Structure 1
Amino acid sequence: MFEAAGPADLVDAMTSAARCESRAAAERLAAVASLYRVRKSMYVEAGLWRTDVFEAVAAEVSAAQNISRWRAGSQVRMAVSLYERLPQVAEVFYRGDIDQRMVQLTLSRTETVDDAIIAELDAALARRIVKWMRFSKDKLRDRLDQWVAKFDPAGVRVPPAAKDNRYFDVTPDVPGMAFAGGVLTARDAAALDQRLEAMADTVCANDPRTWNQRRADAAGALGRGEATLACQCGGDDCPAVALRESAAKVVIHILAEQATVEGRSDDPGYLSGFGVLPAEEVRAAARTAKLVPVSQPGTEPETGYKPSAKLRDYLRWRDLTCRFPGCDAPVEGCDVDHTTPWPFGVTHASGTKHYCRTHHLIKTFYGGPSGWRDAQSPDGTVVVIAPTGHVYSTEAHGAGLFPKLAEPTAPLPPPTSTQEPSDKSAMMPRRKRTREQDRRARIERERRQRIELDAEEERQRQAWLAETYEPPPF
């Protein structure tokens, strides 16, 4: 693309692309904010619905951009805040003079500014923010806080207490491995550290693993509720007797081809929640695991509303995640949805799939001829039609990984009727307060906390002045 370009041309192209990128992001967020305004005027009664206008718009954003519900929700939140509270900063963003990093931090640092003051602050920031593009994150934060304090001292953000930032994550890493770690209270971390040290020390001196490897394996044994770590020296006379009595039954689910389990293939398996699992890890787990075949469902629909255990197992492995466009919520937390609502639709693999609770409610309560609709093929493909008429198709994740699960099941006859109850909205789970009321309550709590902190700092300053002040001699 730039084979004949000189350094100056390359710098110009890079600068132009960066400005275009910012303008495109601003335009995208403007469209999201406008969609939110339109839907808010249409879904007037949805304010106290559990799946409210915010979730309804996030569903449309998720499907249109093929992104997760979490990322879509972040866009909706950012778009609404930017174009409702900081429209002049948004205009600077649209010109390409600032980037999304600056916009995100500006929104965060001005979130608790009073609504009666935010317009003045918006104008002041829009005149100056371009000059701050070269600032680091910390310098930009300080400059934003300085201007918030000029207009609304109670709106300066209060840093969270250290203990409120504790977390512990377990996330997939390279195939067959995962990352586990986080921030704990000092007491909990000390207890965990000592427990891992003690368990790592329960093997004999001939165990081939390093100390760090034994600590990592001890974390797995601890997760299974085992009392000691099994030694891997391989000796018949090993002095380390691993009692390994489980305090609780822990079950993990692995999907694999029969040929992989038997050693006739090296195709990988799948560990639920963690992704692809190498063949050797599959076979190692299979040596002590309970093996249960995934059975293809029969051609005849089941008679009840709830799928049988056999059908539920098949649907679980075929889908693996929520089937809504862009959503990757694990199937363990999803509902089984009848593509044609029960009792007009039947309980069968060709007419049921998984939706997470939010997208299940979206389809149920924002559906109908002018709302969300879907259709399903016998191979598990789901076609989703948005309220705008846009069409999105999703493939079952498990069927994509294991083609055997994509084999078509029985075709279903068209339903005779799909008339829905007229009072359907009465069945929607409800909130005690709207999302906006929750936001305002949270902001008011933080503003009160800032006022109290400032008052305490002033009290301490006055006390210090009183202690150090010496009257002049006469």
Structure 2
Amino acid sequence: MFDNAEPAQLIDTMSDAARAESSAIARRLEAVAALYHQRREYYTEAQYWRTDVYTAVAAEVSAAQNISRSRAESQVRMAVSLHERLPKVAAVFAKGDIDFRMVQMIIARTDNVEEAVIGDLDGALASRVSKWMRLSKPKLRDRIDLFVAEHDPAGVRVPPIARDNRYFDVAPHVPGMAFAGGVLDALDAAAFDQRLDALAATVCANDPRSHSQRRADACGALGRQEGSLACRCGSSECPAAAVRESAAQVLIHVLAERATVEGTSDRPGYLSGFGVLPAESVRGAAKTAKLKPVKLPGAEPEPNYRPSAALKDFLRWRDLTCRFPGCDDPVETCDLDHTTPWPFGVTHASGLKHYCRTHHLVKTFFTGTTGWTDAQRPDGTIVLTAPTGHVYTTEAHGGALFPALAVPTAAVQTKQPPEGATDRLAMMPRRKRTRDEDRRDRIDRERRQRVEINAEVERQRQAWLTATYEPPPF
């Protein structure tokens, strides 16, 4: 495309594309905000529902954009805040004069500003922000905070308390591996560090692994509550080859084809929560694991509301995750949902699937002219129709990885439940406090902290002035 373009043309193309990208994002957020306001007017009582209007709109956004629920919810919050509190900044964004990075920063740093002054601050920022595009993230933050302080000193965001930001994550990495790490309390980290070193030291001197590799393997021993690390020297006379027993039963689920376990195929398996597991890792785990075949469902539906253990096991492996578009919540945290409500629907693989609790509530309670409907095919495919009439199709993740799990089960007959058969809204879980009330409490708490910080800074400044003042000699 650009083979014969001059450098000046390439620069102009980049600049135009950047502006167009910002304008497109601005238009998208404006549409999200408009959708939220329409849904809020329809669901006037939803503020105390556990699945409130924010969540319901996020479900539509995630399906339309094929993104996760958390990303969609973040987008709804930003869109609503931008267009309700900062319309002049939104207009600058729509022209492409600023980018999404800056808009995110402005929304975050002005969140505590009182409604009485946010309009003036919006105008002041809108007239200047296009000149700040070259600023680094710290400089941009400081520049915005300066304007916030001038308009509402108590509205300057308070740095988070470091202790409140502690976390520890375990997440998939390359196939067969995972990443683990986080920010811990210093004393807990010291104890963890020493425990890994102690476990790594329980092997003999001929163990071929490096110290770092032994510490990594010690995490598994620690998770199984074992008192030592298995030595890999290979010697039958290894002095570290004492009997190692686990103090806890740790259950790890791996899905694989029989041929992989038996060594006649190198098709990878699946480690629940972590994704694809190489064939050699599957066979290594199978040596000491309890092997349990997944039983395919029969043609006839089961007679009860709750599925049998065998059917639940099949559905777990067929679905692997929530079946709502864009949602990857694992089945361990999901609800089993009758596609057609019981007793009009059936307890069968063709009529059951997993939804996370949030999307289960959205499908169940956000009904009617602005609600969702779903249908299920015999192979487990779900066809959802959004409140707008848009149709989204999701296939079972386990069935896509292991085709034997997606072989169509028997088509079963269901009855259409009569309109108004139940008062669904009476069963909707309720919040004790609305999302806006929680936000207001958080802002009030931070504003009080900022007032105290400002008062302490002023006290120290006055003390310094007093200490450095020298009276005249006459």
* TM-score normalised by L of structure 1: 0.98
Counterpart of 1:101?
Answer: 101
Instruction: Give the partner amino acid of 2:252.
Output: I
Query: Cα 1:351–1:418, aligned 2, differ >3 Å: closer, same or farther?
Result: farther
Shift, 1:327, TM fit: 0.8
| Matched residue count | 474
TM-superposed CA distance for 1:158, in Å, is: 0.4
Instruction: Quote the residue 1:151 is aligned against.
Output: 151
Question: Deviation at 1:45?
Answer: 0.9
Other-structure match for 2:235: 235
Give the drift of 1:7.
Answer: 1.1
Query: Which residue is 1:268 aligned to?
Result: 268
- State the 1:227 CA deviation: 1.1
Give the SS at the match of 2:107: helix
Matches within 5 A, 1:404-423: 404-415=404-415, 417-423=417-423
Tell me how far apart the structure 2 counterparts of residues 126 and 341 of structure 1 sit (CA, whole Å).
51
On the 8 A contact 1:340/1:418 being kept in 2, the answer is no
**Counterpart in 1 of 2:126?**
126
Aligned partner of 1:350 in structure 2 is 350
Question: In 1, distance between residues paired with 2:116 and 2:420?
Answer: 45
**What is the alpha-carbon distance in structure 1 between the residues aligned to residue 6 and residue 263 of structure 2?**
57
Q: What does 1:217-232 correspond to in 2, within 5 Å?
A: 217-232=217-232
Is this contact kept in 2: 1:260–1:282, CA < 8 A? yes
Alignment match, 2:42 = 42
Quick one: distance in 2 between partners of 1:357 and 1:159? 33
Deviation at 1:329, TM superposition (A): 0.7
| CA–CA distance in structure 2, aligned partners of residues 150 and 422 of structure 1 | 55
Partner of 2:171: helix, strand, or coil?
Answer: strand
In 1: Cα distance, 2:416 partner to 2:164 partner: 55
Counterpart of 1:9 in structure 2 is 9
5 Å-filtered alignment, 1:35-114, equals 35-114=35-114
- Structure 1 residues 205 and 430 mapped into 2: Cα distance closer, same or farther (>3 Å)? same
Q: How does 1:32-431 map to 2 (within 5 A)?
A: 32-368=32-368, 370-415=370-415, 417-431=417-431
Question: Who is 2:434 aligned against?
Answer: 434
Q: Equivalent residue for 1:453?
A: 453
- Once the two structures are superposed, what CA deviation does each residue of 1:187-213 show, in whole Å capped at 9, x if it has no partner? 111000000000000000010101100
In structure 2, relative to structure 1, the CA distance for the partners of 1:468 and 1:131 (3 Å cut) is same
Q: In the aligned structure 2, how far is the partner of 1:281 from the partner of 1:415?
A: 46
Matched residue SS, 1:116: helix
Q: Cα 1:304–1:197, aligned 2, differ >3 Å: closer, same or farther?
A: same
1:133 & 1:73 partners in 2: Cα distance?
27
The alpha carbon displacement at 1:415 in A equals 1.1
Structure 1: distance between partners of 2:142 and 2:461: 22
CA distance in 2 between partners of 1:120 and 1:451 (Å):
21
Partner residue, 1:443: 443
- Report the secondary structure of 1:393's partner residue: strand
Q: Offset at 1:228?
A: 0.8
8 Å contact from structure 1 (residues 226, 244) kept in 2:
yes
Letter in structure 1 aligned against 2:103: V
Give yes or no for contact 2:172–2:179 (8 Å, CA) kept in 1: yes
Distance in 2 separating the partners of 1:370 and 1:95: 32
CA contact (8 A) 2:344 2:414 kept: no
Cα distance between partner residues in 1 of 2:251 and 2:413:
38
Paired residues of 1:344 and 1:418 also in contact (CA < 8 A): no
- SS of residue paired to 1:108: helix
Question: How far apart are residue 459 of structure 1 and its match?
Answer: 1.8
Q: CA deviation at 1:242?
A: 4.1
* CA RMSD after TM alignment: 1.1
1:314-356 C-alpha deviation (Å, 9 max, x unpaired) = 0000000000111111111000000000111010000000000
Q: Provide the residue aligned with 2:28 in structure 1.
A: 28
Contact 1:333–1:356 under 8 Å retained in 2: yes
Q: What are the Cα deviations for residues 111-142 of structure 1, in whole angstroms up to 9, with x where unaligned?
A: 10111100100000000000000000011001
Query: How far is 1:463 from its partner?
Result: 2.7
The aligned residue for residue 470 of structure 1 is: 470
Deviation at 1:367, TM superposition (A): 2.1
Q: What's the secondary structure of 2:353's corresponding residue?
A: strand
Which stretches in structure 1 are left out of the alignment for 5+ residues?
A: none
Closer, same or farther in 2 for the Cα pair 1:369/1:96, shift >3 Å? closer
Q: Quick check: 2:378–2:408 contact (8 Å CA) kept in 1? A: yes
Q: Deviations over 1:402-456 (max 9, x none)?
A: 0111100010113153444442111111111110111111101100110011112
Q: How far off is 1:3 after superposition?
A: 1.8
Distance verdict in 2 for CA 1:129–1:228, change over 3 Å? same
Shift of 1:458: 1.6
**Counterpart code for 2:169:** D
TM-score when normalising by structure 2: 0.98
Output one character per residue of 1:81-112: Cα deviation in whole Å (capped at 9) or x when no partner.
Answer: 11111110000100001100000011111110
Q: CA shift at 1:473, angstroms?
A: 2.3
Q: CA deviation at 1:178?
A: 0.6
Amino acid at match of 1:218: A
Matched residues in 2 for 1:242 and 1:138: separation?
55
Q: Structure 2: how far apart are the matches of 1:42 and 1:219?
A: 52
Are the equivalent residues in 2 in contact too, given 1:228–1:243 (CA < 8 A)?
no
Q: Is the 8 A contact 1:166 1:183 kept in 2?
A: yes
Distance verdict in 2 for CA 1:464–1:164, change over 3 Å: same
Q: 1: distance between equivalents of 2:353 and 2:255? A: 18
CA distance in 2, matches of 1:368, 1:405: 33
Distance in 1, Cα, partners of 2:396 & 2:418: 25
The one-letter code matched in structure 2 to 1:272 is S
Deviation at 1:472, TM superposition (A): 2.4
Aligned partner letter, 2:230: A
* Equivalent residue letter for 2:129: I
Q: More displaced, 432-441 or 413-422?
A: 413-422
Determine helix, strand or coil for the equivalent of 1:316.
helix
Per-residue CA deviations over 1:351-410 (Å, capped at 9, x if unaligned) read: 000000000000110024652000000000000001111100000000000011110001
Distance of 1:197 and 1:120 partners within structure 2: 58
**Residue type at the aligned position of 2:119:** A
How much identity, in percent, do the aligned residues show?
A: 71
Quick check: 1:227–1:243 contact (8 Å CA) kept in 2?
A: no
1:430 & 1:417 partners in 2: Cα distance?
Answer: 25
